[in-house]
Amino acid sequence: MLRHLWRNRSAGADARDSRCSAIAFVAAAALGCCVTVAALCVPDTAESRRSLATGAPAVGSIELVATTPLPGQPTGLAVSRTHVGVSLALDGVTFVRRDDASRSRRIRIDGAATSIHTDGSRFWVADMLHDRVLKLDEAGSVLGEFRVGGLPGGIALTRSDVWVLGLEEPSITLADRRNQLPVVHLSFGAGELWPRAIASGPHGVWISTGHRAAVTLMDAEGYVTRGKVAVRGVDRLTTTPQGVWAARQGPGPELARIDGSTLRVQTRDLPGQLRVTAIDAGSILAVAVRGAVVGLDPKTGVRRARAVIDADRELTHVAVDGDDIWAVDATHNELLRFHLRLPSAHREGRGG
């Protein structure tokens, strides 16, 4: 059960020294273990990729239209109104123009950028080296920062707060979006370690934990648990107006849709049983697997479009942006831009 450790909108950030000696171990465990487990459990073969490419016919198409080199190892992706922000591990953050996919600027943060999120005009970047989250504008200027309790990971935004997962000390830190002052610090009970993914939507904030293999829905305003669903192996989440999609690693269906009102779970297999490496919902549910990007109906999970790409590309993050799908390739350190062509009858509005 999540416990409130402190709650204060007027207090300063919780200052603490960085634990540099633990960063390498925790980062490897948090960022690499899922890939290792998935590789052991889920086949990723040429036959599987052919199955995905030659499965049931799709009504639309996804075309790769632009490739932008990145000056470092990508760890996150977020699309604002004018720019695409990519966090780059030890190389800060790079901004790419949304209109023509050209690089505009690179910001060094003197830290280890592990994730990035945006509200459309501002970016939040997690710095694992200094246990903090930075707030940037689209010009790359630092607008503020706040401390996070133990190696920050995933970030989610609600109407008033920034939610940040803590990986070293399993927890969630909340800060006010306007002034970056701390709001609430939540810790996980010993039986619920470890937090693996977080996403916010119309029904609240969704969090997956590894030890008890569950997805928890929390109230975004009252910070209390609204429900919990047992779903194993979830390490990626994306929300829609109807609920949340979860990407699973391990034996069984690769995707699960959880209804935000009833918490009913519906699973969805992908042809070929390929390992899901990234998901995001918008006009389409974009699912990245080895050798392909698949577009599914966000409500039903029915396949609408697909693109076959080189099998050596590892797309670790995707972002649906209207008729575009952005993705980062961690193998070649590139930002990819795909264009979605889909009949209007099969389109869906952007999720939360």
- Give the contacts of 16 (CB within 8 A, at least 6 positions apart): 131, 147, 149
Q: Confirm whether 351 is domain-assigned.
A: no
The phi and psi torsions of 189 (rounded to 5 degrees) equal -65, 160
pLDDT at position 348 is 56
Range scoring the smallest mean pLDDT among 14-18, 203-207, 269-273: 14-18
Whole-structure pTM over 0.75, yes or no?
yes
Average pLDDT estimate for 106-117: 94
Confidence of residue 248 (pLDDT cuts 50, 70, 90): confident
Is residue 177 within 8 A of residue 160, CB to CB? The reply is yes
pLDDT at position 171 is 87
Q: Confirm whether 289 is domain-assigned.
A: yes
Q: Confirm whether 69 is domain-assigned.
A: yes
Q: What's the CATH code of the domain at 278?
A: 2.130.10.10
| Mean pLDDT, the chain, integer | 82
The partner residues of 244 in beta bridges, in order of sequence, read: 239, 258
Task: Give the chain's domain count.
Answer: 1
Is residue 215 within 8 A of residue 234, CB to CB? The reply is yes
Confidence of residue 188 (pLDDT cuts 50, 70, 90): confident
Tell which wins on pLDDT, 107 or 52.
107
Does 143 have pLDDT greater than 90?
Answer: yes
**pLDDT by residue (tens digit) across 195-241?**
789 999 999 999 998 766 899 999 999 889 999 999 988 999 999 99
Helix (H, G, I), strand (E, B) or coil at 245: strand
Q: Confirm whether 119 is domain-assigned.
A: yes
Does 182 have pLDDT greater than 50?
Answer: yes
Among residues 213, 210, 175, 174, the alpha carbon closest in space to that of 195 is found at: 210
Q: Confirm whether 217 is domain-assigned.
A: yes
146 CB-contact burial (10 Å; exposed 0-12 / middle 13-18 / buried 19+): buried
Per the rule left: phi > 0, alpha: psi between -120 and 50, beta: everything else, 4 is beta
pLDDT at position 342 is 80
Is residue 247 within 8 A of residue 279, CB to CB? The reply is yes
Question: What domain range includes position 284?
Answer: 3-346
The DSSP code for 18 is: -
CA distance 50 to 59: 18
Is residue 234 within 8 A of residue 198, CB to CB? The reply is no
Among residues 319, 310, 307, the alpha carbon closest in space to that of 279 is found at: 319
Q: Confirm whether 221 is domain-assigned.
A: yes
pLDDT at position 35 is 28
> Tokens representing 328?
């980062």
- Give the contacts of 344 (CB within 8 A, at least 6 positions apart): none
Q: How many CB atoms lie within 10 A of CB 298?
A: 28
pLDDT at position 60 is 87
Q: How many CB atoms lie within 10 A of CB 212?
A: 14
Per the rule left: phi > 0, alpha: psi between -120 and 50, beta: everything else, 75 is alpha
> What is the H or E stretch that residue 341 is in?
strand 334-341
264 CB-contact burial (10 Å; exposed 0-12 / middle 13-18 / buried 19+): exposed
Range scoring the smallest mean pLDDT among 51-65, 274-288, 323-337: 51-65
**Cis amide linkage into residue 194, ω under 30° from 0:** yes
Q: How many CB atoms lie within 10 A of CB 221?
A: 11
Q: Confirm whether 70 is domain-assigned.
A: yes
Is residue 284 within 8 A of residue 298, CB to CB? The reply is yes
Q: Confirm whether 128 is domain-assigned.
A: yes
Confidence of residue 297 (pLDDT cuts 50, 70, 90): very high
What angle (nearest 5°) sits at the alpha carbon of residue 78, between those of residues 285 and 164? 100
